[in-house]
Amino acid sequence: MVTTNVFPKVPDQHKNGKPLIPNGLGVLYVLFAAVYLFLLYFLNVGSVSIGVSAPLTLAVCILFGGFMGLLDDWMDLKWRYKAFMPLIAALPLIYFAMDMHARTSITLPFFGVIDFGIWYFYLIIPLIVMIVTNTVNMLGGFNGLESFCPAIVILGLMSISALTSTYYLLMLGPIIFWLILTALNLKGNIFVGNSGSFAIGMTIASFAVIADVKLSLLISIIPYIFNSSLILLTVFFTHKKALITFKDNKLESDHKRSLVTAITYHRPLTERQIVAIVSIIVAAFTLLAVIFSFISIILV
């Protein structure tokens, strides 16, 4: 994979000497995923209705996520724009869900079945897209963190989808290519950039809606929601951002303003250790989602 002369390089802030690393490789995922999904459409795989196509719907959403990430890389978008821009990508998902007569209810432990009715299309789907895309983008900054953790969530959602439908086929090609980028990212050879983090966040949200794995998504992204809530509440009440100190190849924080700073609070850890801990947390919640879904299918 040639990246030296094509992609801009940025310093790796958590390495001695801050070496320059090619950034924005996530755009390759966007292009590959779009081509793969277009091929599925032409091969009539996943086209489950005359009016809508699952591959095309997912492709459109991923393309918009990548475009949004590129805009952020070029223009450094303010958070108020990044928070609401994903709502545009909710439009094809709303149309898909309505045309497919998607299930508008969700079964929650201890609460039973909650049916959102028409509000599922006009409120819940936009919220899913907005929240998931932004929370995934907010948990990053370390080699492998913004690529490996989303891969864990997607693999979990794919396994759940495989129990009841063939929608998992939509993600076979994209997840393989994303894992290649993840391996390079973990080694510190590339950064996926905002184009990658927004695209993969949009992928998670869109696939969850298309494959109807809403509860599994909710459980899997609890660490992401916790991280974003901690960051936003801290900024709102104290006007302070989460910061981390790099010294002697280790990172440490003196506050708990994010998931990462909570993990490194007065506890010096290497970058790999931080990524490993966060990945284990995400994997634990994703596994919980898989187990819960498997039990629910058996009991039905």
Q: Is 202 exposed, middle or buried (0-12, 13-18, 19+ CB in 10 A)?
A: buried
Instruction: Measure Cα distances from 202 to 196, 215, 255 in Å.
Output: 10, 17, 30
Output the average pLDDT for the chain: 89
Residue bearing the bigger pLDDT, 295 or 77: 295
The closest of 209, 227, 224, 217 to 292, measured between CA atoms, is 217
Q: What is the per-residue pLDDT for 19? A: 87
Q: How confident is the model at residue 15 (pLDDT cuts 50, 70, 90)?
A: confident
CA 289, CA 152: separation in Å to the nearest integer?
12
Mean pLDDT of all residues in 66-95:
85
Q: What is the per-residue pLDDT for 292? A: 87
Mean pLDDT of all residues in 256-274:
94
Q: What is the per-residue pLDDT for 46? A: 58
Mean pLDDT of all residues in 106-111:
73
1 has a pLDDT exceeding 50: no
Mean pLDDT of all residues in 44-60:
78
**How does pLDDT run across 216-263, given as a tens digit for each residue?**
999 999 999 999 999 999 988 888 888 888 888 899 999 899 999 999
**What percent of the chain clears pLDDT 90, i.e. is strictly above it?**
64
Q: What is the per-residue pLDDT for 3? A: 47
Structure token digits, residue 139 = 């948990």
Q: What is the per-residue pLDDT for 143? A: 92
Phi, psi of 169 (to 5 degrees): -60, -25
Mean pLDDT of all residues in 203-218:
94
| HEC sequence for the chain | CCCCCCCCEEECCCCCCCCEEECCCHHHHHHHHHHHHHHHHHCCCCCCCCCCCHHHHHHHHHHHHHHHHHHHHHHCCCHHHHHHHHHHHHHHHHHHHHHCCCCCEEEECCCEEEECCCHHHHHHHHHHHHHHHHHHHHCCCCCCHHHHHHHHHHHHHHHHHHCCCCHHHHHHHHHHHHHHHHHHHHCCCCCCHHHHHHHHHHHHHHHHHHHCCHHHHHHHCHHHHHHHHHHHHHHHHHCCCCCCEEECCEEEECCCCCHHHHHCECCCECHHHHHHHHHHHHHHHHHHHHHHHHHHHHHC
Phi, psi of 264 (to 5 degrees): -95, 15
Mean pLDDT of all residues in 184-197:
93
213 has a pLDDT exceeding 50: yes
CA 169, CA 184: separation in Å to the nearest integer?
24
49 has a pLDDT exceeding 80: no
Residue bearing the bigger pLDDT, 292 or 38: 38
**How does pLDDT run across 153-174, given as a tens digit for each residue?**
999 999 999 988 889 999 999 9
The closest of 65, 81, 45 to 206, measured between CA atoms, is 65
Mean pLDDT of all residues in 174-197:
94
Q: Is 230 within 8 Å of 259 (Cβ atoms)?
A: yes
